[in-house]
Every structure is written in structure tokens, then in C-alpha cells.
Amino acid sequence: MQDTPLALLALATGVVIGGVIAALIAVAISARRRAFEQASLDVPPGISDVLAAMDDAAVVVDGGGTVRAASLAAAAFGMRVDDHLVDETLRRLARSAREAGASAASTLTIRRAAPPAEERLVSARATQVSPRLVLMVIRDITERERVEQMRRDFVANTSHELKTPVGAVTLLAEAIESAAEDPDQVRNFAGRLSAEAARLASLTSRVMNLSRLQSADELSERRDSSVDSIITSAIEANATSADAAKVTLVRGGERGIYVHGDSQVLAEAVSNLISNAIAYSPAGSSVGIGVKRVEGTVEIAVADRGIGMSPEDQERIFERFFRSDQARSRRTGGSGLGLAIVKHAVQRHGGEVRVWSRLGRGSTFTIQLPAVAPPADAPLDRGAGVAGVRTPARPEPVAAWTPPSNGKKK
């Protein structure tokens, strides 16, 4: 009986010692695991699967900036597995997240490849996924910011452009009130008031048209339309202004071509090109409107022999509110929206517009649209002459209105 307490004591001691030893072993294993994790460069399980499913560029990088895993989209920024993270700003962001043990985000500019590759604005976020590895997600926001900047510029420019005629209308109304006893002055101010009101109405209409063309809605009046009718409508809209400017409109090229689209929108686009050509042509000159078929497309060219444009202006000519000649635009009442409307109208019809120009030699704007087969019951358009427009008896090629030795159109 005296051996029982000793046995129990020995058992308790053995349990305590065994527990201590087990705890020491567990601590050692845990320390070893932590040490392994601290030194390991293995990508944690599941991370590679997540990267494979991501649309954004994403990479896992180690402390030295080496890419250990990457999404497919990361290749667009030159980041592939085993490559070194070249961009210093991205390396600093990864280092910041690793040292803080928390996420770090930044908006920065990086290049897709080595210079002179274009710079892209990106939103980058770095998150530590292990002691030595950081996950970086890089989202390209260049286009989003560009569109947002365009929206801000459009609002600012529209507000600025509206202030001028609105201010003029206000001043002229006050002038008419002050000159109520002078009929000649009233008539003079009333005429100017009507001109400013017309300018305001035109600007408002163009802003609305451009907004409609830039919206996601489909054009509602799409149908097979005769290019001959579109050209005739555009010429008729500008015949009076051409006569006033002593500019001859010359029409030629192929007939009987059809396109699928909104004929009113396309006629306005061609009309804008003709109006610009008249405004920038000297008195006594001519503006040519020609049509030709090129494989499955139709090209509508409007050429003048006016003042032309510099290469720098040609790069921006289709921007909203851009004017290559500010003084002339003020005299003619130009809004700077005509060519922007042309570009968007043509793009909505699956086409493109391009320009060739030389200073002192004139400009040629060419609209290219997909052609469609004429309807079975399509009338033969002989191109009845429009008042003030010379229509050649024999169709002339588009090149007839291109300035000599113009080289290749751009």
C-alpha cells in the first residue's frame, strides 16, 4: 500500500515531464516553421489560381523585386515570372507594404516597356501575403482618366463658349433699351442681337448633336441611304454661304453608291466639311466634293485650296472646340465642334475620317464608310445640279480636287 503514493507521484512527474517535453517540441516545430516561412519564397497555395483568373495585371514579388507569380495581363507591362521588377516606384510600394505588414496603395505612372514606350496611369495596391512575398495588383486607369478629363474639358469649354453669345445678347438687349428713341441704332443692335441668338442656337444644337453621337444609344434612323442624296443635301445646305464667299462648289466622282446609316447625320457630317472648306478658302477659289468606291468602301473627299494646316494642328483638328485659326473662327462664328461631330458621326457608322493638308496649299478631308449593295428599286441618280454648284458632265475622280503633288494622305 505504501508503493501506491509513490507510483502516483512518479506518474504525475512523468506526465509533467512529458508535457514539458511535448511543449518544447511543439515550440521548436513552430519556430522551425516560422523560420522556414521567413526564408521561404514559395507562393502560398491558391494565390496562383487567383492570379490566373484576374483580368488586371497582378504579380507576387519577393524582397529583391523578383516576380514569383504573375497574371496573364501582367505581361502587357513587361512583368513575367522570374523577371525583375524594373519600375522603382512599384518596388518602393512593395517594400512599404512588406515593412508595414499592411496594404499600401498609390496612383502612379509607369511604362508598358522600355522607353520610348508610352506611359500609362495605373492604380497599384500592394498587400503582404507572407513575410517575404507581396501581392501587387495593377489596374490601368489611363482611358478612364482620359475620358474623365475629356468630360471636364467639355463642360468647361461649353460653359466658356456659351458665355460669349449669352453676354453679347444681354449687352445688346440693354443697348436696344438705351437707344429706344433712335430707330437706326435699334435696327443695328437688333440685327446684331439676331446674329448672336443664331450663334447661340447653333452652338447649343451642335453640343446636343455631339452628345447624342457620343452616347451609347444606337442611331434610330439607320437604313440604306444614297450617297448621292447625302452629297446633294450637304451641298444645298452650303450653296448660299458659298455664293456669298464667292467660292465655287464642284461636285464629281462616282454615282449610285449606297451606305447603311442615318442619312441626316451623314449629310450633316459632309456639310460640316464643306462649310469648313468654304470658310478657309479665298474668294474665287473652288471646293471639290468627290466620291469614289475603294473595294468594299466608299470615300467622300472634300478638298479646298485654302490656307492649309500645320502638322501640329492636324494632330488636334478633330478635338472638341479646337480652332487652328482663332481669328478666322471668331469672324465666321465657328464653334470648334464641326470636325468633332464629323469624327463621331463617321465612327458611329463604322468608318473613319482622315485629313491631308499643307500650309498654303489647302486641305483634303476624306470620309471612308462601308458601302452596301444598292436596293433593287434604287433610282438612277444623275446628280441634278444644285444652284451655285458646277457638276461636271463626266464624273471626275476624287483626286481632281486634291492639291497637286500632295503625296500620300495621312
In a domain, 349, yes or no: yes
Domain co-membership, 270 together with 360: yes
Domain boundary among 214, 235, 261: 214
Range of the structural domain that residue 172 is part of: 144-214
Domain co-membership, 238 together with 338: yes
Contacts of 393 (CB under 8 A, 6+ apart): none
Domain co-membership, 239 together with 286: yes
Calpha distance 102→95 (Å, rounded): 11
pLDDT in tens, the chain (410 residues): 556 777 777 777 777 787 777 777 776 676 666 555 554 557 777 787 788 888 888 888 887 788 888 888 888 787 888 888 878 888 888 888 888 888 888 888 887 655 555 678 888 999 888 877 888 898 888 878 877 776 776 666 666 667 767 777 888 888 887 887 788 888 888 888 887 787 777 667 666 666 666 554 555 667 888 999 999 999 998 998 899 899 999 998 999 999 998 888 899 889 989 988 998 899 999 999 999 998 889 999 999 988 888 888 888 888 766 666 544 444 444 556 778 888 888 888 889 999 999 888 899 999 999 998 888 766 655 444 443 444 443 333 333 344 333 433 33
How many domains does the chain fold into? 3
Domain co-membership, 306 together with 230: yes
We report the CATH number of the domain holding residue 81 as: 3.30.450.20
Calpha distance 322→316 (Å, rounded): 7
We report the CATH number of the domain holding residue 191 as: 1.10.287.130
Domain boundary among 214, 232, 249: 214
Domain co-membership, 287 together with 389: yes
Domain co-membership, 232 together with 330: yes
In a domain, 16, yes or no: no
In a domain, 208, yes or no: yes
Calpha distance 132→137 (Å, rounded): 17
In a domain, 83, yes or no: yes
- Comparing CA positions, the residue from 325, 342, 338, 335 lying closest to residue 162 is 335
* pTM of the predicted model as reported, rounded to 2 decimal places: 0.52
